[in-house]
Chain A
Amino acid sequence: MRRAGDGLILTTGALMLALTVGDIATGGGVAAWASEHLASQAQAIGGVLGTLGQYGWPLLLIPLVAGLAGRFLTLPTILAGGLRRAIGLIDSLNLSLGGAARWFALGLVIATATVVIQRYVFGYASTKLAESVIYMHALLFLLASASTLLSDGHVRVDIFYSKMSERGKAWVDLIGTYLALIPTSALILWASTGYMNSTWRILERSREADGLPLVFALKTAIPLFAILMILQGLSMAARAALTIAGQEAPPTPANASAGEM
């Protein structure tokens, strides 16, 4: 049975494999290209993203304005339709990313057990494998966080919330997103710029000589997490805005089941 994200994780795995094989086949050609060009390529991409953010940020306010306006007047069809389309796009993006990240849960289990068997039975330790456990652990919660928000898996104090009307809940979600979620994520994003520059410039690797050379990529997951949370926050706010305006909001996808402790 195929689920969202299965294809993405397969593609990513195949890509990694192809790069590794290519690197071996060309006698380190891929690694050489990376150390030569990757930093400048990344800087160019980062520059484009930065410009997008610089001029695009007012778009983030649309759901807030729509929610506040929707309290008093009917939303124009084009705005409501736009919100719905944005919700659909963001949700499907985060569902496939979260669905792909979910495989790291299995990866963690297999890698940890392998490390244990290697260490206790064969007396052999692989730094790369041990580090990959931490990488997968970090990517699991950083990339699955947005889809967890979508399935309402981030714990709330719901003593009062659970008794509120749909519209009351929508107000909490709308205001909370703009006062808490987006500012926090924006802080993480803004504060990441400095060290993103330095970690990509030197393509930071593990402190261990035989460790993974991908610390720069792992650190990039932190601002990526912030971006995904901002996007999912927008989707949540757009749903809330539609509810406040008395219009039908798209239902949350059912297959994203929330966990319980």
Chain B
Amino acid sequence: MNLFIELLPFLMFLVAFAALLRGYPVAFTLAGVALAFAFLGLGLGLFDPVHLRAFPQRIYGNLMEMDRSILVAVPLFVFMGVMLEKSRIAEELLEAMGALFGTMRGGLGISVIIVGALLAASTGIVGATVVTMGLLSLPTMLKRGYSPELAAGSIAASGTLGQIIPPSIVLVLLGDQISNAYQQAQRSQGIFSPDIVSVGDLFAGALIPGLLLVGMYILYQIGIAIFRPNDAPAAPASEGTTDWGQLLHALLPPLALMTAVLGSILTGVATPTEAAGVGAVGATFIAGARNAGAAKNPLPGQLVAFAGLAALLGLFALVVVANIGADRRLYVADLGPAATMFAFVLVAITLVGAALSLLRLKRSGVLDDVMASTANISAMVFVILIGAALFSLIFRELGGDLVVQHALTAVPGGKYGALAVVMLVMFLLGFFLDFIEITFVVVPIVAPILLVMGIDPVWLGVLMAMNLQTSFLTPPFGFALFYLRGVAPPSVTTAAIYRGAIPFVIIQLLAILAVVLLPWLATALPEWLYG
């Protein structure tokens, strides 16, 4: 009987895993299994029903209180990403970059990776990126004589960059969980004025590893172009007429938005939520100016939307310039009545531009699609968080965290051995589960233990994020591969997609190894930025 009680947490995990594989929505499956084990625990007298009574209050405290406003960054980043996706920036970028690099050997592959990195930093939605590039770049690459393996692998890998290059939804959710775990770990060690690690820290930590991955992907393309030139031939020179106007038109908006959003987060001026909110408005202006979803784009509307965007940027430029060299925070009111008047005029122009953009997008149906996607993804993510919260609560009450703690401390090799085991388990779970479930179920259970053992929270978060990103790419169940399979022509076999992904999985593993061996790759930037 005692043995049975000790094995209960294991059993719970196994049952959950088996139940999840049946295919019922994850959020409710996790909660249902948790509930069954809660009743089992009640029957055995291991479990206090007060925990069930308090569950709605827990939902309220975990998701709906003011100090949880970091979670609002999720719908805001989704809104911004879907809006940019609908304004067809990816299509234009691919075309312009293809013309710029296409006449080089390996150039199309490189342009796919650069576009993937740009989209990762501006939209960060893996599925959309893979689908767009699969529909546009894959046929072009095949027509130019690229090997299907290389073309498919490049597209799938570039798509997953959205997970690791900030701002990314994975990093927001993971950062939030690590931040909670870090506080819990310090409290359990009797530290009552704990250090805080924020989502911003994780964004800064992930930047260099993300760029490292982009660099390694590009090096791989160059290597192929040199050693297996037939796999990545150049396009005929006649197709290489670069239209610089088009390139700027495609490149400038996402680049400006990315710099503003990421810059304000990394410099610590704004929280991720604040930056995401302004970024979403910026994306709305861009989509409005392009009249996304409509066939024609009359010039007056374009100008009004652009004027709105310029006025919004002007407002922030005004305070930024005013605060250069100031010894205290200055606002427009400190700059005199003329500046205040000017600011109000800018606000008025912003409002007019925003109203017109929204009107255009509502008429073309784009606004409805963006709002519906945001609502659906938001519900999907946070309802899993509710289900996973019930799961971890009951897992913990049944003694699961102690079991895991004993197991992890028994691993030879101390904290590094424990870390290696956790990373391996996450990688294996990644074959079956989405990053959201892993983040919400596994991280709260293992992260406090690892952090107590003395592992750096930012380093841990970045390693986990890279690990989850890799699982998106790993055959046979990587999500990026599924998305690509859905849009790839039948001439590209599933086996070719799998074979193409493998070199990139190896690159991923090398990059993870690099971050393991050189932790400063993850920790140096946040330390330098935030001290």
* Chain A interface residues (CB < 8 Å from chain B): 1, 3, 98, 101-106, 108-113, 115-117, 119-123, 130-131, 133-134, 137-138, 140-141, 144-145, 147-149, 151, 153-162, 164, 169, 172-173, 175-177, 179-181, 183-184, 187-188, 191-192, 194-195, 218-219, 222-223, 256-261
Contact = CB atoms under 8 A, between A and B. Distances in A.
Contact of A153 (B362, B376, B390): B376
Contact of A3 (B71, B343, B368): B368
B22 A172 contact: yes
A218 to B, nearest CB: 6
A259 B64 contact: no
**Most A-side CB within 10 Å, residue of B274, B316, B372:** B372
A151 B71 contact: no
Contacts of A131: 66
A157 B20 contact: yes
A160 B57 contact: no
A195 B54 CA distance: 9
Contacts of A108: 72, 75-76, 79, 277
B32 A134 contact: no
A134 B64 contact: yes
Contact of B316 (A120, A183, A195): A120
Contact of B26 (A157, A257, A261): A157
B375 interface: yes
Contact of A138 (B29, B63, B363): B63
A106 B69 contact: no
B21 interface: yes
Nearest to A144: B375
A50 B3 CA distance: 42
Task: Please list the 7 inter-chain residue pairs (A to B) with the smallest Cβ-Cβ separation, ordered nearest first.
Answer: A161-B23, A180-B32, A112-B277, A176-B24, A123-B331, A260-B127, A154-B25
A157 B21 contact: yes
A191 B56 contact: yes
A222 B374 CA distance: 20
A187 B55 contact: yes
Contacts of A123: 329, 331-333
B319 interface: yes
Interface residues of B, number: 96
B242 to A, nearest CB: 32
Given A140-B375, A157-B26, A222 B380 contact: no
B71 A102 contact: no
B24 A109 contact: no
Contact of A113 (B26, B57, B66, B278): B278
Contacts of A160: 21-23
B291 to A, nearest CB: 15
B308 to A, nearest CB: 12
A109 B55 contact: no
Contact of B383 (A112, A120, A145): A145
Contacts, number: 255
**Most A-side CB within 10 Å, residue of B28, B315, B437:** B28
A103 B278 CA distance: 17
Interface stretch (B95-103, B428-436, B459-467, B493-501): B428-436
A175 B22 CA distance: 10
Contacts of B76: 108-109, 112
A161 B66 CA distance: 39
B153 interface: no
A257 B373 contact: yes
Interface in B460-513: 477, 479, 483
Contact of B35 (A133, A187, A257, A258): A187
B318 interface: yes
B374 A176 contact: no
Contacts of B22: 160-161, 172, 176
Given A109-B79, A116-B277, A155 B374 contact: no
Contact of B373 (A103, A162, A259): A259
B135 interface: no
A1 B270 CA distance: 36
Contacts of A144: 375-376, 378-379
Given A108-B76, A134-B65, A181-B28, A261 B127 contact: yes
